[in-house]
């Protein structure tokens, strides 16, 4: 919550907070100034705050204030500065090519005026300043490309839609360089961004700001009421419209993220007490369901079934690892009594490099009782998962990452037609696809779920079960 409300109607207050900008842009006829409700953040950054997390409503000016802060920082401390969007293409549209409708000028040209002697490199989306600093728009989805680079400051915009592991790779760079990080986002359910924000609120090293539209006066109450009505009409559903309004304007973490498939079902599971501690029954076999990525995420769910009850006991996810490492970590390091391993249809495709299918590779590693699903329409997996979730009991701790994926799994929004399409392929889709694979095919493993003795580790048939 901000300590201030309103826009920049208090020139003397805003001017004082904007002193740092004026020092480097004093030759310009108009100096950019933070809006009144942005002052808490601006003052914290000017005072030397190294970590800030801001969750705010649409049109708050998140990227604008970050852009001008980065310009000020780059002029005062020569170094490399990054502005990260979830995908590089988003950065070009939202930042690099963005035009200020009030002035008709590109926002980057306003942030980096002639006084700074900037050189704009269009293809790289990079600005080189006269003092040697560089500022660049990048995608956090390609965080591996940043390894080995050095930066003095990073903006992670649209953080709730970004890959959370990007921060794990960037954080050590900033620690070494005494650099700063600014997180900016609007809620998309209670995902990694929301959980991190809540943990950071009690950390004295972090400045955290939660700013709903009712506290900034960017919109009048009448405008907000009209926006709520229009969202309901646009989406054709009062539930969807209210959820999007609560998420994007009221910054409500618990609102079902717009367009999500399973968020409301999982919220009901939590209310019913079906998300909590789920002990593993040693007398029951554990079935798994997989989504295998190539240079991408691999996701594995772990289930036990008894009667109509589905116990979701564990979840494993990794990125960029080979099959041998996945089998070792997901299967070999878990002391479960194995049942059926459900894999998607494309596991049968032969790879050009080896001439073998991943099915054959997994068999050679000792993974037994493999059930390969048929190629199906994604909506079939979604419908099967929706029917299964009310039967599920989830272990909240071991399945935390998987639950995040299920909550975040959502439909594509078509801006041209103002309608939802099929599933959006992002970091949530792998875990959701694996879950749907099990929902579709779980009855095929009945024979493998009878109580039996545990397999002995070692040899080519270690994980046969």
Break the chain into its structural domains and give their ranges: 11-215, 275-449
* Beta pairing partners, 423: 411
Quote the pLDDT of residue 168: 87
Confidence band of 60 (pLDDT split at 50, 70, 90): very high
357 φ, ψ (degrees, to nearest 5): -85, 160
What pTM, to 2 d.p., does this model score? Answer: 0.67
pLDDT digits (tens, 9 = 90+) for 24-45: 443 333 468 899 999 999 999 9
Residue percentage of the chain with pLDDT more than 70: 86
CA distance 307 to 195: 34
Please report the pLDDT score of residue 19 as a whole number.
Answer: 53
Confidence at 409, pLDDT banded by 50, 70, 90: very high
Instruction: Please say if the pLDDT value at position 221 is more than 80.
Output: yes
The residue whose two tokens read 């080995």 is: 148
Categorize the per-residue pLDDT at 368 as very low, low, confident or very high, splitting at 50, 70 and 90: confident
Judged on CB neighbours under 10 Å (0-12, 13-18, 19+), 321 is middle
Q: How is residue 96 annotated by DSSP?
A: I
Check residue 352 and give its pLDDT: 55
Residue 20 has pLDDT above 60, yes or no: no
For the domain 11-215, what is the CATH superfamily, name and number? P-loop containing nucleotide triphosphate hydrolases (3.40.50.300)
Label residue 315 exposed, middle or buried (CB < 10 Å: 0-12, 13-18, 19+): buried
The 8-class DSSP code of residue 83 comes to E
Beta strands in 100-217 (DSSP E): 119-121, 126-128, 134-139, 153-157, 180-185, 206-211
Higher pLDDT, 29 or 86: 86
Q: Does position 356 have pLDDT exceeding 90, yes or no?
A: no
Fold classified for 275-449 = Nucleotidyltransferase; domain 5 (3.30.420)
What is the total residue count of the chain? 465
Confidence bin at 257 (pLDDT 50/70/90): low
Mean pLDDT of 230-248: 86
pLDDT at 144 over 80: no
pLDDT band per the 50, 70, 90 thresholds, residue 418? low
Does the pLDDT at position 464 exceed 50? Answer: no
Higher pLDDT, 6 or 453: 6
65 vs 68: CA distance, rounded Å: 5
pLDDT (tens digit, 9 = 90+) per residue, 152-185?
Answer: 999 999 999 888 878 988 999 999 999 999 999 9
* Residue 323: C-alpha distances to residues 169, 296, 355, 369 (Å): 23, 12, 15, 17
pLDDT band at 460 (very low <50, low <70, confident <90, very high): very low
């Amino acid at each position: 919550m901000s300590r201030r409300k309103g826009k920049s109607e208090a020139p003397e207050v805003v001017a004082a907070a904007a002193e740092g900008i004026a020092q480097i842009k004093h030759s310009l006829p108009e100096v950019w100034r933070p809006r009144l409700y942005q002052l808490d953040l601006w003052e914290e950054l000017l005072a030397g705050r190294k970590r800030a997390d801001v969750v705010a409503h649409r049109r708050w000016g998140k990227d604008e204030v970050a852009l001008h802060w980065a310009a000020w920082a780059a002029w005062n401390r020569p170094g490399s500065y990054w502005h990260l969007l979830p995908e590089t293409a988003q950065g070009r549209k939202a930042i690099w090519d963005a035009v200020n409708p009030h002035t008709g000028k590109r926002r980057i040209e306003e942030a980096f005026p002639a006084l700074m002697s900037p050189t704009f490199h269009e293809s790289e989306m990079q600005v080189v300043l006269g003092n040697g600093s560089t500022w660049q728009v990048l995608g956090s989805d390609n965080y591996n490309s940043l390894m080995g680079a050095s930066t003095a400051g990073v903006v992670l915009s649209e953080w709730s839609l970004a890959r959370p592991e990007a921060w794990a790779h960037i954080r050590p760079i900033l620690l070494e360089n005494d650099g700063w990080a600014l997180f900016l986002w609007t809620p998309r359910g209670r995902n990694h961004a929301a959980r991190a924000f809540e943990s950071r609120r009690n950390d004295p090293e972090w400045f955290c700001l939660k700013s709903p539209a009712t506290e900034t006066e960017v919109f009048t109450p009448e405008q907000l009421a009209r926006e709520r009505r229009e969202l309901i009409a646009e989406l054709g559903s009062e539930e969807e419209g209210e959820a999007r309004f609560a998420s994007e304007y009221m910054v409500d973490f618990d609102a079902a993220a717009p367009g999500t498939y399973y968020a409301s079902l999982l919220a009901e599971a939590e209310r019913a007490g079906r998300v909590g501690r789920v002990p593993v029954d040693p007398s029951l076999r554990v079935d798994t369901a997989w989504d295998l990525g190539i240079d991408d995420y691999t996701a594995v769910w772990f289930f036990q079934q008894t009667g109509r009850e589905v116990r979701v006991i564990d979840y494993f996810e990794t990125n960029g690892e080979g099959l041998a490492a996945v089998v070792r970590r997901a299967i070999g390091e878990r002391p479960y009594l194995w049942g059926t391993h459900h894999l998607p249809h494309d596991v049968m495709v032969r790879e050009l490099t080896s001439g073998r299918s991943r099915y054959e590779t997994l068999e050679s590693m000792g993974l037994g009782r493999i059930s390969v699903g048929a190629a199906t329409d994604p909506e079939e997996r979604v419908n099967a998962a929706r029917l299964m979730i009310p039967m599920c009991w989830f272990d909240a701790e071991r399945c935390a990452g998987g639950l995040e994926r299920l909550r975040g799994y959502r439909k594509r929004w078509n801006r041209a037609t103002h309608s939802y399409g099929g599933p959006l392929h992002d970091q949530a889709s792998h875990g959701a696809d694996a879950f749907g694979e099990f929902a579709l095919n779980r009855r095929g493993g009945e024979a493998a779920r009878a109580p039996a003795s545990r397999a002995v580790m070692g040899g080519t048939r270690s994980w046969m079960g």
